[in-house]
Amino acid sequence: MNAPIIQQQSVGSSTVPSVRVKSQYWKRAFPYYFMILPGLLYLLIFRYAPMFGLFIAFKKYSPFQGVWGSEWVGFDHFVRLFTESDFLLLLKNTLILNLLDVLVAFPFPILIAVLLNEVGRKYWKNSIQTIMYAPHFLSWVVIVGITMLLFRTQDGGINALLGSLGLNRIELMTDPHYFRFVWLFHNIWQGAGWGAIIYLASIASIDPALYEAARVDGASRLRQILHITLPSLKTIILIMLILRLGNFIDVGFEHVFLLQNPLNLEVSDVFETYIYRQGLVQGDFSYVTAVGLFKSVVGLVMVVSANAIAKRFGEEGVY
Amino acid sequence: MKKSLKALAGSFLALSLIVGCSNGNNGGNADQGKAGTASEPAKNEERLPITIAVQYWSGPKWTEDHPTIKYLEEKFNVDITLQLINGSEYGEKMKVMAASGSLPDFYRADSPETYLAWQSEGAFVELSELLPKYPNLIKAFPLDHEANRLLNPEGKIYGLPDISWTVRDTIQIRKDWLDNLGMKLPSEDEFTVDKYYEIAKAFATKDPDKNGVAGDTYGIIGLDSVIQNAFGIANGWFEKDGKLLPKQTQVEEYKAYLSFMKKAYDEGVLDRDFVLRKSSDLDDMKRGNKAGIYSHHNDLTGYEDSVKKAFPDTKPELVPMAPPIGPTGIRAYSAYLTGMNKQVINAKASPEKVDRILQILDWWVTDEGTTIMKSGLEGIDYTKKADGSYEPTAQWETNFPRYLNSSIFARPGVDFNMYLWTPQEDKDFLASYKALAEKYTLKDAAAGLTFYSDTYKNKSADLSKNFDEAMSKIIVGSEPIEYIEQASKEWLANGGDKIIQEINAAAVK
């Protein structure tokens, strides 16, 4: 991490305003700014520039009349979205999935990081960590495919076995009651190990003297976790939580789409799959841009309010 | 540390907030095609690049140096770029290409809805004045042909229709499986839905493939429209008392059909994972000797060969059947509407390019052109033997010239897999197959009209999704049969009533 160096420099430059020092500062800082450049360009080109296209949410966009030639329709698309018969269902499904994710999946990486920190042998710690974050590199197609192979009702491996033993088959893929569980389980299995990395890094930066002092005072391991590790992680946990809340209305298209089938639609239909149907299947670009814009606005509101709440409780927040 | 985290977090934040959408470019000039002049077709002095989108289903991917493509390039002095698009993704890809302004010069509109929508926005070259200049083309696609009138405004033609099967898929049964189980192949008059059920049940529960394991084969795979037809469910729309009504209003018919399918599900006759199967999964079952009664197209021998290759001990024999007879005596295959698929030329193409494309097509519909596009080139894909008969070379298999024909363009007819060396018996089989498939057909009473309803365009995908959801739920038993009444009511309430109104209004016109 090169972050501490930047910090020192910014402190230095703010105290001495003379021109010579300033130019010296630029000379030293230039490489770092230069290193930021690709990321900055990426943001500008792929994240900011497309935002200008957002105004087609207020037009009846036709690819052949072009962005400028299409007719203005005002808030028609938003009115349509809010009066859509499925709107409440989409909102409900999206929020329930996210709530489950924040309540159940979000703490997992923290738990893993804290527990890994207690593993004494480095060899063990590293191998466990590697095994746990490996699923991160599997795509949803593979993960859902494996689940299908194991749990298809008729010929899935586990169900075929259950069937041949005369037991009831588990309709994991088609029974809507299982959908949220499967989705959540996948999320944890795939993401928890990877998510733990940032917490492990924070734990590594905790001053060992704190632990030594605690041990001298006779604090048990649990006490050390409760009073040293977790409090030190508080800021990073909050930041991660605020960022997570910004995605509170995002579910991620691919995963849900792959798990979706006509039998679990009532719990699996979310904004992303709706956008897919309306936008790519029906080609209604303006309308789905409006849906996307609505989602972004909700995300922004979530982040701003979460940040405000964090600040009220004396934390730093993300900005 | 904290500050750096803040910076890090800030950039994450920026990343996570933004929604992307792509800028379409301006353009799409509808009138350009008018200027197209068919000067003497022989002189093609300038070499023109032509891009063609191909919906790609199977076979090896054609490369730029494909002999047939090279032949076309030399003959017409063009540079052809083929954009191969995976079959199932074609519709999405086309819309993305449209949004980014990168549609190819010549392509098939992915759906009638798209064709109509884009037509009104001036995306295609209008052909009614150009076609007469190409003698073979105008003979193959006369301006007043039914297929040319469908989906086009009066007197205009925005695309060349695909004129082939009225009914292509039939129910096919593995006769060798029946033999293995000591069952008899039903005659046309004996083939009722109950017989269909009996056969499917035997296939699902016994051991038709003789591998020693009973029940590892499938009965009914997927929900088949022909079974719905047997129970009186319409092919889209039907006429009642002078009014057009959609099949979603046929509650009683659906109840009968759903009871039948529910029983099939409960007794293990219907594949219990039918909602999870994609078309490629079904294909694997057919080729993998796992299913023995299903709807399928006319390439029976291809599937027999696949099974034979994977299981050399089997003697697969597929028999096409007439549609099964329903409880009230109805039997029918749903008929396609000829002219629903259109090949279009991009309005952005220059007049010279339009002319060049039409020249190629004009040649393509001749006997010479079609033969080359189907059978390939003499000396490369096939050889002529001393006795005047033809023989395909080994390269013919790997070059796949034949798929270029039906994938890019084809002249009217169903003979696109009849080659120079195809034996007479296969040609006879095709004729008899066509007769069988088209013997009992059911037309859509609102043929082509649905696309004039705006509500249909906006809502149909969502509405039919909900209706299908209800059907699946009833079949697996999570809702009672009567639930279809509610689904039908919801379908009507959420936009269906309006669709009926709009379509009946369009029918009057």
Choose, out of A5, A33, A64, A307, the residue to mutate when testing the contact with B (most B CBs < 10 Å): A64
Cα torsion at A201, A203, A205, A208 (round to 10°)? -150
Q: Name the band, by pLDDT with cuts 50, 70 and 90, for residue B37.
A: very low
pLDDT for the residue B385: 85
Asked if the Cβ–Cβ distance from A85 to B494 is below 8 Å, we say: yes
Whether A41 and chain B come into contact, CB under 8 Å, resolves to no
Arithmetic mean of pLDDT, A155-162:
86
Whether A1 and chain B come into contact, CB under 8 Å, resolves to yes
Neighbours of B119 (CB within 10 A): 23
Which residue in this structure is represented by tokens 């938003």? A78
In a domain, B381, yes or no: no
Whether A63 and chain B come into contact, CB under 8 Å, resolves to yes
pLDDT for the residue B27: 37
pLDDT for the residue B112: 84
Whether A38 and chain B come into contact, CB under 8 Å, resolves to no
Do B180 and B140 lie in a common domain?
A: no
Task: Report the CATH number that the domain containing residue A85 is assigned in CATH.
Answer: 1.10.3720.10
In a domain, A110, yes or no: yes
Query: What rounded mean pLDDT belongs to chain B?
Result: 84
Give dist(CA B253, CA A260) in Å, integer. Answer: 28
CA distance B477 to chain A (A): 11
Q: Please, is A207 exposed, middle or buried when counting C-beta atoms within 10 Å of its C-beta (0-12, 13-18, 19+)? A: exposed
Residues of chain A found within 8 Å of residue B457, distances taken between Cβ atoms: 282
Do A96 and A46 lie in a common domain?
A: no
Domain termination residue (choose one: B348, B366, B384) = B366
Partner B, chain A 92-121, Cβ-Cβ below 8 Å? none
Residue A252: which of A189, A203, A311, A183 has the closest Cα? Answer: A183
Asked if the Cβ–Cβ distance from A243 to B17 is below 8 Å, we say: no
pLDDT for the residue B374: 85
pLDDT for the residue B424: 87
CA B79 to chain CA centroid, nearest Å: 28
Do B188 and B292 lie in a common domain?
A: yes
Do A105 and A149 lie in a common domain?
A: yes
Residue B18 has pLDDT above 80, yes or no: no
One DSSP character per residue, chain A reads: --HHHHHHHHHHHHH---HHHHHHHHHHHHHHHHHHHHHHHHIIIIIIGGGGGGGGGGEE--TTTHHHHSEE-TTHHHHHHHH-TTHHHHHHHHHHHHHHIIIIITHHHHHHHHHHHH---HHHHHHHHHHHHGGGGS-HHHHHHHHHHHH-TTT-HHHHHHHHTTPPP--TTT-HHHHHHHHHHHHHHHHHHHHHHHHHHHHHTS-HHHHHHHHHTT--HHHHIIIIIHHHHHHHHHHHHHHHHHTTT---HHHHHHH--TTTHHHH--HHHHHIIIIIIT--HHHHHHHHHHHHHHHHHHHHHHHHHHHHTT-----
Do B327 and B259 lie in a common domain?
A: yes
User: Which residue in B has a C-alpha nearest to residue A249's C-alpha?
Assistant: B17
pLDDT tens sequence across A96-138: 999 999 999 999 999 999 999 888 788 888 899 899 989 999 9
In a domain, A10, yes or no: no
Partner B, chain A 2-31, Cβ-Cβ below 8 Å? 3-4, 6-7
Give dist(CA B303, CA B311) in Å, integer. Answer: 12
Arithmetic mean of pLDDT, B214-233:
90
Do B315 and B457 lie in a common domain?
A: yes
One DSSP character per residue, B335-404 reads: PPPTT-SEEEEBTTS-HHHHHHHHHHHHHHTSHHHHHHHHH--BTTTEEE-TTS-EEE-HHHHHH-HHHH
Do A20 and A165 lie in a common domain?
A: no
In a domain, A62, yes or no: no
Higher-confidence residue of A283 and B9: namely A283
* Range name among A24-38, A264-278, B37-51, B290-304 with the lowest pLDDT average: B37-51
Do B210 and B291 lie in a common domain?
A: yes
Who among A152, A169, A318 is closest to B6 (CB)?
A318
Whether B7 and chain A come into contact, CB under 8 Å, resolves to yes
Q: Name the band, by pLDDT with cuts 50, 70 and 90, for residue B455.
A: confident
Asked if the Cβ–Cβ distance from A261 to B98 is below 8 Å, we say: no
Do A25 and A139 lie in a common domain?
A: no
pLDDT for the residue B60: 63
Which residue in this structure is represented by tokens 């309308």? A287
Q: At what angle do helices B67-76 and B367-375 cross, to 10 degrees?
A: 150
What are the two backbone dihedrals, phi and then psi, of residue B346, each rounded to the nearest 5 degrees?
A: -65, 130
Q: Could you tell me the pTM of the whole model? A: 0.76
Q: At what angle do helices A176-204 and A230-246 cross, to 10 degrees?
A: 130
Asked if the Cβ–Cβ distance from B11 to A235 is below 8 Å, we say: no
Residues of chain B found within 8 Å of residue A207, distances taken between Cβ atoms: none
User: Which residue in A has a C-alpha nearest to residue B276's C-alpha?
Assistant: A261
Give dist(CA A3, CA B3) in Å, integer. Answer: 8
- Please report which residue ranges of B27-153 form alpha helices under DSSP H: 67-76, 90-99, 112-120, 135-140, 146-149
Residue B65 has pLDDT above 80, yes or no: no
pLDDT for the residue A157: 86
In a domain, A68, yes or no: no
How many pairs of residues across A and B have Cβ atoms under 8 Å apart? 174
Whether B492 and chain A come into contact, CB under 8 Å, resolves to no
Neighbours of A220 (CB within 10 A): 10
Do B283 and B356 lie in a common domain?
A: no
In a domain, A143, yes or no: yes
Do A166 and A228 lie in a common domain?
A: yes
Amino acid at B6: K
Do B360 and B295 lie in a common domain?
A: no
Residue B105: which of B362, B351, B347, B365 has the closest Cα? Answer: B347
In a domain, B418, yes or no: no
Q: Name the band, by pLDDT with cuts 50, 70 and 90, for residue B44.
A: confident
Which SS3 state, helix, strand or coil, does residue B29 take?
A: coil
Do A95 and A238 lie in a common domain?
A: yes
Do A245 and A308 lie in a common domain?
A: yes
pLDDT for the residue B38: 42
CA distance A53 to chain B (A): 6
pLDDT for the residue A108: 92
Kindly state the helix (H) or strand (E) to which residue B81 belongs, with its residue range.
strand B78-86
Q: How many residues does chain A have?
A: 319
Q: How many residues does chain B have?
A: 509
Residue A14 has pLDDT above 90, yes or no: no
Domain containing B305 equals: 170-334+448-507
pLDDT for the residue B293: 93
Do B190 and B324 lie in a common domain?
A: yes
In a domain, A299, yes or no: yes
Residue B17 has pLDDT above 50, yes or no: no
Task: Report the CATH number that the domain containing residue B127 is assigned in CATH.
Answer: 3.40.190.10
Do A198 and A281 lie in a common domain?
A: yes
Q: What percent of chain B has pLDDT over 70?
A: 91
Do B185 and B313 lie in a common domain?
A: yes
Query: Which residues does residue B170 pair with via DSSP β-bridges, in sequence order?
Result: B296
Q: What percent of chain A has pLDDT over 70?
A: 94
In a domain, A317, yes or no: no
Q: Please, is B221 exposed, middle or buried when counting C-beta atoms within 10 Å of its C-beta (0-12, 13-18, 19+)? A: buried
What are the two backbone dihedrals, phi and then psi, of residue B51, each rounded to the nearest 5 degrees?
A: -105, 140
Neighbours of A41 (CB within 10 A): 10
Do B134 and B194 lie in a common domain?
A: no
Higher-confidence residue of B3 and A98: namely A98
In a domain, B433, yes or no: no
Q: What percent of chain A has pLDDT over 90?
A: 37
Q: Name the band, by pLDDT with cuts 50, 70 and 90, for residue B331.
A: very high
Give the number of domains in chain A.
Answer: 2
In a domain, A319, yes or no: no
Residue B373 has pLDDT above 80, yes or no: yes
Domain containing A163 equals: 75-312
In a domain, B10, yes or no: yes
Do A117 and A200 lie in a common domain?
A: yes
Q: Name the band, by pLDDT with cuts 50, 70 and 90, for residue B28.
A: very low
Domain termination residue (choose one: B366, B384, B412) = B366
Give dist(CA B411, CA B398) in Å, integer. Answer: 23
Do A227 and A298 lie in a common domain?
A: yes
Do B327 and B468 lie in a common domain?
A: yes
Give the number of domains in chain B.
Answer: 2
Arithmetic mean of pLDDT, A61-66:
79
Query: What rounded mean pLDDT belongs to chain A?
Result: 86
Do A287 and A151 lie in a common domain?
A: yes
CA distance B106 to chain A (A): 16
Residue A243 has pLDDT above 50, yes or no: yes
Do B140 and B24 lie in a common domain?
A: yes
Asked if the Cβ–Cβ distance from B22 to A53 is below 8 Å, we say: yes
Asked if the Cβ–Cβ distance from B117 to A283 is below 8 Å, we say: yes
* Range name among A184-198, B187-201, B346-360, B459-473 with the lowest pLDDT average: B459-473
Which SS3 state, helix, strand or coil, does residue B171 take?
A: strand
Do A38 and A167 lie in a common domain?
A: no
